[in-house]
Structure 1
Amino acid sequence: MVAARVTGLAKLLGLCVVAGVLVAAVLFPVVGGVGLMSNRASESVDQISSDLVSVDPPQVTSVLDKNGKVIASLFEQDRTIVRSEDISPNMKAAIVAVEDRRFYDHNGVDWQGIFRAAVDNVVQEGDGGGGSSLTQQYVKNYLAYVVARTDDERGKATERSIARKLREARIALQLEREVKDKDEILTRYLNIVPFGGQIYGVASAARTYFNTSPKDLTIPQAAFLAGLANQPSRLNPVNNPEGAVKRRNWVIDKMAENKAFPISDPAKLKQEVDNLKATELGTQNPLRTLSNGCVGTGGGNVNGFFCAYVVDYLQKAGMSLEQIKRGGYTIKTTLDPVATEAAKSAAEGEVSKTTDGIANVIAVVQPGKDKHRVVALAANRDYGIKQDLGQTSYRLPSDVAKFGAGSIFKVFTATAAMEEGKAGINTSIPTPPTYTSPVYKNGGRGYTVKNAGEYGESMSLQQALALSPNTGFIWLEERAGLGNVVDMSIKLGLRNSMQGVNNAGTKPNPDSKNRQYKLTQEQLIKQDNSGSFTLGVTPVSPLELANVGATLTSGGVWCPPSPIEQILDRSGKPVPFTEAGCEQVISPDLAASMAQALSKDDQGNGTSAAAARAAGWDRPMLGKTGTTQDHKSAGFLGATPQYSGAVLTFSDSDSPRPICDGAQPYLCRSGNIYGGKVPARTWFEAMKKIHKDKKREELPPAAPSFMN
């Protein structure tokens, strides 16, 4: 008993000292200014006070599809700022009653409350609180959840010390002098205070616990939230409903004491309070929390890959992840939900999500001369971290895949040869069963290739693109020049794929005699004079491959594959961001001629004709299949004037193996998958749905200068 009284007297003395120092801070600003720096030592109290007036706390960033539907929420703190008029008077009355009943009477620091708290701490042995006003609590929360960026900084912002009390009081006094409007300070407090977990502010709390808006909060709901604000963990209604009800009812009593109810008759007031306290708690179970990030986005994870690409794209454009997750932006994207669902259904229809070791990936881009909009990024996998459920955290459609796209790279050889004047659509090229190149080497010997099928001794370039003989394209690559072919792949769209670091190659760093630096794919291919480039052995991004088709169907204009239509800040104002400009990379005549050169793949005995017939495809298109030599990957690139898409099917296990085609593809010893099988079937199934109700459009005619 004596020890408790001594402890209580010590607390009383401590609070009295605080009160004395606070008075000194008001009467003698020089004294009060000592030690009043924020957690960030470079900022003075005056600067922080200004921030409290002008800087909004972190808010949820919403990612929308092209129709304005939210597909993902990105945040550090689940918070949505609301105006004073959008907060129920019940909520304001409840928080004032329980936290600062003299809020409208003091000037930022409740001196009476501080002395009351000091006495209560003695009498109640520590249960009387610290006497902080709502304005001071707002300051504390601001420093902890807006200014602070680390746990250590948050700890300093909430530590039990006279210095903290002094700092908060000084800022609170200055803040109330500057703002003057008590309701604005109360609104700011309600927008910043934590309500448990990642839930901050009354709007998110109203949605999470009651699935309602802050404007529509009833008295019992408001009382619950007001009681929860300072003890969210202990009073979680899911884990401790009895404690939550007890605390809510205590707040209702405090509201009655503070004359929050316009009832003068004591008996009627008691009856009203009893009725309110008898109300069911009514909280959501489970709580209606927001899914944070790209994992677990709406539509059964169908939007996860697109969301991840949006984040990556904005980071490359100069927005930090912290900025994105704190900024409260509205990001309007190019995602087409119809196209995405069609792509997802097609990819998973050909290869189930739980198929061991096989990914089936599709990207769809909308051509244009001012923008190439990414409308769908999908895979048989879901975007997530549960591998046993067929999920992956790799950005399969947008990242560079493990394997190449096979003969799809012949598109670059043909385009470069036509640009260099070495071939035209009708030019006859030799296609013998075997060809040994005198230009490209393999271990000191000439590079020898064989055809996968039987062909005549020669055929036109257009036929060769449809039938895909290997020997003819090695011959054509010699004439076009490997450097020109590689450069063409970059111009048409493989910007990231070809600039990626290749771990197989290094060379001396010109800036240092003793250091090596790794080569990019482009550098290694050119350095090694790799004639196999035209056969598509180089790892490639499915999205960039789709963008190649968009470049050809956009009159030779390359644009970055963009997922962004517009970014708005929390005030609804457009936010500028850096995006690469479009480029005329090949002439419109060459682009049109290449589209015609590639227009026979889905017809006759073209490599994708069987898949096209099975799908009932009847639109003009350009197309090219590809398969890598060991059958660990295969792909299909196809485009119409309206959409371009690329499919890549590849072994994505830690120990890649060849893929065999069947009712469902499977890993096997030798492999028999081709671009005309799973990849082409996936493309036609998806694109038939995506083109539904779209007007039939013809490919542009070839230019006479590129015919022969």
Structure 2
Amino acid sequence: MRALRAALGKLLTLSMVAGVLSAALFFPVAGGLGLLSNQVVAAVGQTSVELANVDPPAVTTIQDKDGKPLAYLWEQDRVNLRPDQISDAMKAAILAIEDRRFYDHNGVDFQGTVGAGLKGLIKGSIAGGGSTLTQQYVKNFLAFVVSKDVKEGYRKATEQSASRKIKEVRLALDLERRLAESGMSHKQVKEEILTRYLNIVPFLYDIYGVGEAARAYFDTTADKLTVPQAALFAAMVNNPQLYNPYANYEKAKRRRNIVINQMAEQGMLSPNGPEENKRLAEEYRNTEIELAYKARPAARPRGCLNAVDAEGKPDHTYGFFCEYVVDYLKKAGFTDEQLNRGGLTIRTTMDRKAMEAAKEAATNKIPQTRPGVANVMSVIEPGTGRHPVRALVANRDYGLDKQKGERAFDLPTQYVGFGAGSIFKVFVAAAYLQQGGRISDRIPVGETYTSRVYKGNGNAPYTVKNAGTYPAQMTVQDALAQSPNTAFVRMQEKVGLEKAAEMAYKLGLRESMRGINMQGKPLKPDGSNGPSVLDAVVRGNLGTFTLGVTPVSPLELSNVAATIASGGMWCPPTPIEQVTDRDGKPVPVKEASCERAVDEDLANSLAQGLSKDDKPGGTSATAAGAAGWTREILGKTGTTEEYKSSGFLAATPQYAGAVLVFSDSDRPETVCKNGRTCGTSTVNGAFGGDLAAPTWFEAMKKIHEGLREKTFPPAAPRYR
């Protein structure tokens, strides 16, 4: 009796399904059909709109400035193709084995569905086969597009229930109706659905769609797929795991040959009659499955940890730039879904020549495996109406293996907590010029100086001394080149600490002054972890500001040089040339507008004030001489207390850059202390001229190869 009741229940369910399918076939836009709840109907209506208008997830490609791939972002390794980008053999193979009446129905093959239902009843299941390609597209769409969890989505999209089958039928009918109402002919509707189906189906190993499968399995494109190749893919869609040619070669081949036989029976191999079709079928069946890769198909490398060189080979040099691109776009409002599912093309500003030159210089001076010492460099191109970032590198590789010296965080763009040292004297000098000073003014130096304005530890007077011997007086220009501390503390008192800190913000330290706190952490929207660096400097009356003790980003330091070299125009350092969607249409990127930071005459005069750093007596003169440097620069070195960081900010009219060398160990210490050899130098605590400046000159010499020498405009008369 139990068995009889079960059989009667299945028969009743099948009868209901058949009745509903009939109603759905004749009344595809009817309401609830008497069986579906209002919620299911609403879900069907909403999803049918998505089916008609939403493309499945696709690979986002990040490119260098020349359009060569740099990295790929994806959740599903897929490229969406147009109908003309898929071979006729592929289309024929899938129709032959999956839906030979595809062009004769309107989304549901009523005869096939009910027939499959009767077979399923005999086997003990009410949902087994009979689905058209349109229905299969619906099922895959629900699994891989609507659902963000592929496993759960696939389970729901394939569950053995009448409601699931009814929903699938309704959606299939509604999809074909909507496409027809959009103005497509019946043939165009079918071609569109066939293409969408071939774009969405999975082929294992995170590979989806025949476009990626063609590349990953056969190292070809979908428009060049042969009959045996196409037949294998058509065989796999039935059960990718079972017919995986890597794991089950013979089963995959047998199933492939069944597809070839079906193509021959339906006259798809040749228009020259049955005998020619039989002959070709035998020829194709006897071919082996020739896969392009031995171990597994080649899914695209994913994410910034798997960035590639110009030849498409893995190269950890480029991960830092890739990460900056992703972070930049997220701050501009792009979501993870857009980036990882949107099929965007992101052409960046990255110049591989600049990247390679900077990377080589950074590792030459401090090897990657050197424990505890990071050497990072940022390069920007000024004077273009914007500030494109051309290089972001470190002596580290971007990776997870700490034993190899790799780092998987933003070394070239992070906030270095130790500061940039005397590079900050640039801001005090700029504020001095803005208040009427001149680069030729002679200013007092002195071996030590005790301030009446600033306080030291506790409430003691703040006393500063120099690291070398200097004359009693120097011009501002010579002081910038030789960097006496006492002169700039005096100058900071004169211009005012707030004006000096604001000048740092204006010239380029936008986030470093107002976006982070004194620990280098981004400020929370509610300000609970504030104040900002600028506010902390002013409130704390921080006399050491001109000595560069606050956190700073290497990238923003290079942008300071770019602002000065651009005649005082600040622009956001951008890694983006253009973003386009999967259809090639531009996607706007929200970026800050360029603005005048300081008067052009002031900027040009400041550039001249900084032009003697590489000349005899300047702090980078030795490094410039060793590199054989001959071009005009603006430059300034810096070194922090206890030598935990040092740097060099400099620019030519063509390129601006900054190098920071700092302790990046879990227990920060003096860089190269006690006379250790650091790279090519033996130093007792590294100054900016010891490692940072040599890195800059070596890199920039290669970056400038082939460019004619340019000079900065002269200082304006009022600043001379």
TM-score range, shorter chain: over 0.9
Counterpart in 2 of 1:544? 556
Q: Tell me whether 280-289 or 645-654 shows the greater mean CA deviation.
A: 280-289
Matched, 1:416 2:431: yes
Structure-2 change in CA distance of 1:439 and 1:64 (3 Å): same
> How far 1:159 sits from its partner (Å)?
3.1
Using the alignment, how far apart are the partners of 1:208 and 1:7 within structure 2? Answer: 47
- Cα pair distance change 1:120/1:496, threshold 3 Å: same
Assess, with a 3 A threshold, how the Cα gap between structure 1 residues 598 and 666 changes in structure 2: closer, same or farther.
Answer: closer
Counterpart for residue 30 of structure 1: 31
Q: Determine which of 463, 466, 470 is the counterpart of 2:485.
A: 470
Match of 2:173 in 1: 173
Which residue number in structure 1 is paired with residue 183 of structure 2? none
Match of 1:192 among 200, 206, 224: 200
- Counterpart selection for 2:190 from 176, 182, 191: 182
What is aligned with 2:245? 237
What is the match of residue 616 of structure 2? 604
> What is the deviation of 1:537?
1.0
Out of 447, 452, 473, the residue aligned to residue 433 of structure 1 is 447
- Indicate yes or no: 2:323 matched with 1:308: yes
- TM-score under structure 2 normalisation? 0.91
Q: Which runs of 5+ in 2 are unaligned?
A: 180-185, 310-314
User: Which of 697, 701, 705 is equivalent to 1:692?
Assistant: 705
Given candidates 606, 629, 634, the residue that maps to 1:622 is: 634
- 1:214 positional shift: 0.7
Question: Shift of residue 552 of structure 1?
Answer: 0.2
Change (3 A) 1:517 1:387: closer
Q: Against the structure 1 CA distance between its residues 342 and 17, is the aligned structure 2 distance closer, same or farther, given a 3 Å change threshold? A: same
Partner Cα separation in structure 1 for residue 525 and residue 306 of structure 2: 47
Secondary structure in 2 matching 1:53: helix
Change (3 A) 1:234 1:436: farther
Aligned equivalents of 2:515 and 2:590: distance in 1? 21
TM-superposition CA deviations, 1:386-430 (whole Å, max 9, x none): 222322111111222232111111111111111122x32122222
Where does 1:354-393 land on structure 2 (aligned, <5 Å)?
354-368=369-383, 370-393=385-408
Distance 1:626 1:271, change over 3 A: same
1:597 deviation in Å?
0.5
Aligned counterparts of 1:127 and 1:326: Cα–Cα separation in 2:
35
Give 2:307's aligned residue.
Answer: 297
Distance 1:125 1:333, change over 3 A: same
In structure 1, give the amino acid aligned to 2:464.
Answer: V
* Farther off after superposition, 98-107 or 658-667: 658-667
Find out whether 1:284 has 2:297 as its counterpart. Answer: no
The answer as to whether partners of 2:267 and 2:277 remain within 8 angstroms in 1 is no
Task: Indicate the SS of the match to 1:238.
Answer: coil
**Which residue identity does 1:647 align to in structure 2?**
V
Matched position secondary structure for 2:489: helix
Q: CA deviation at 1:101?
A: 2.3
Partners of 1:77 and 1:611 lie apart in 2 by 49
CA contact (8 A) 1:26 1:32 kept: no
In the TM superposition, what is the alpha-carbon distance from 1:50 to its structure 2 partner? 2.9
Listed one character per residue, the Cα deviations across residues 514-568 of structure 1 (whole Å, up to 9, x for unaligned) are x955211111111111111111111111110000000001010000001111122
Distance 1:630 1:36 in 2: 73
Q: Distance in 1 between matches of 2:361 and 2:400?
A: 22
In structure 1, the residue matched to 2:715 is: 702
Query: 2:638 aligned with 1:637, yes or no?
Result: no
Identity between Structure 1 and Structure 2 (%): 51
Larger deviation, residues 273-282 vs 248-257: 248-257
- How do 1:266-665 and structure 2 match up within 5 A? 269-285=277-293, 286-299=296-309, 300-368=315-383, 370-421=385-436, 423-442=437-456, 443-502=458-517, 517-660=529-672, 663-665=677-679
Q: Displacement of 1:243 after TM fit?
A: 3.1
Counterpart AA for 2:624? A
| Distance in 1 of aligned mates of 2:545 and 2:489 | 9
Distance apart, 1:65 and its partner CA:
1.3
CA contact 1:630–1:671 (8 Å) conserved in 2: no
| 1: CA distance, partners of 2:641 / 2:175 | 71
Residue identity in the other structure for 2:350: L
Change (3 A) 1:392 1:517: closer
CA distance in 2, matches of 1:608, 1:546: 17
Kindly indicate whether residue 678 of structure 2 is the aligned counterpart of residue 678 of structure 1: no
Point out the more displaced range, 204-213 or 16-25.
16-25
Paired residue type of 2:303: G
Task: Determine if contact 2:604/2:716 at 8 Å carries over to the other structure.
Answer: yes
Q: Which residue of 1 aligns with 2:55?
A: 56
Q: Distance in 2 between matches of 1:585 and 1:368?
A: 14
The alpha carbon displacement at 1:178 in A equals: 3.0
> Contact (CA 8 Å) 2:269, 2:281: kept in 1 or not?
no
Q: Give CA deviations for 1:138-177 in whole Å, capped at 9, x if unaligned.
A: 1122222222224555543443322121111011112222
Moved more, 588-597 or 447-456: 447-456
Change (3 A) 1:596 1:510: closer
Query: Structure 1's 237 and 532: CA in aligned 2 closer, same or farther, altered over 3 A?
Result: farther
**Kept after mapping to 2: 8 A contact 1:358/1:667:** no
Specify the code of the residue in structure 1 equivalent to 2:306.
G
- Partner Cα separation in structure 2 for residue 71 and residue 315 of structure 1: 18
Matched-pair contact (CA < 8 Å) for 1:304–1:383: yes
- 2: distance between equivalents of 1:428 and 1:327? 60
Q: 1:676 to 1:24 in 2, by over 3 A?
A: same
Contact 1:4–1:125 (Cα < 8 Å) also in 2: no
Letter in 2 for 1:307: C
Secondary structure at 1:367 match in 2: coil
TM-score (structure 1 length as normaliser): 0.92
In 2, the alpha carbon distance for the partners of 1:470 and 1:632 equals 18
* Bigger mean CA deviation after superposition, 439-448 or 118-127: 118-127
CA distance in 2, matches of 1:351, 1:685: 13
Q: Quote how far apart the aligned CAs of 1:207 are.
A: 0.8
Q: How many angstroms apart in 2 are the aligned matches of 1:345 and 1:5? A: 79
The alpha carbon displacement at 1:265 in A equals 6.8
Counterparts of 1:8 and 1:529 in 2: how far apart (Å)?
87
Q: Among 220, 223, 244, which residue is 1:212 paired with?
A: 220
Aligned partners of 1:16 and 1:218: how far apart in 2?
43
Please tell me whether the aligned partners of residues 659 and 665 of structure 1 are also in contact (alpha carbons under 8 angstroms): no
Range moving further from structure 2, 269-278 or 10-19: 10-19
Inter-CA distance 503–494: structure 2 relative to 1 (3 Å threshold): closer
Q: In 1, Cα distance between the equivalents of 2:37 and 2:266?
A: 34
3-state SS of paired residue (2:642): coil
Distance 1:613 1:6, change over 3 A: farther
CA contact (8 A) 1:38 1:48 kept: no
Counterpart Cα distance in 2 of 1:369 and 1:212: 40
Q: More displaced, 596-605 or 427-436? A: 427-436
Deviation at 1:124, TM superposition (A): 6.1
SS of the counterpart of 1:589? helix
Measure the CA separation in 1 of the matches of 2:263 and 2:15.
Answer: 28
Residues 454-497 of structure 1 show CA distances to partners (whole Å, capped at 9, x for unaligned) of 22222111111111111111111111111011101110001111
Deviation at residue 6 of structure 1 after TM alignment? 9.6
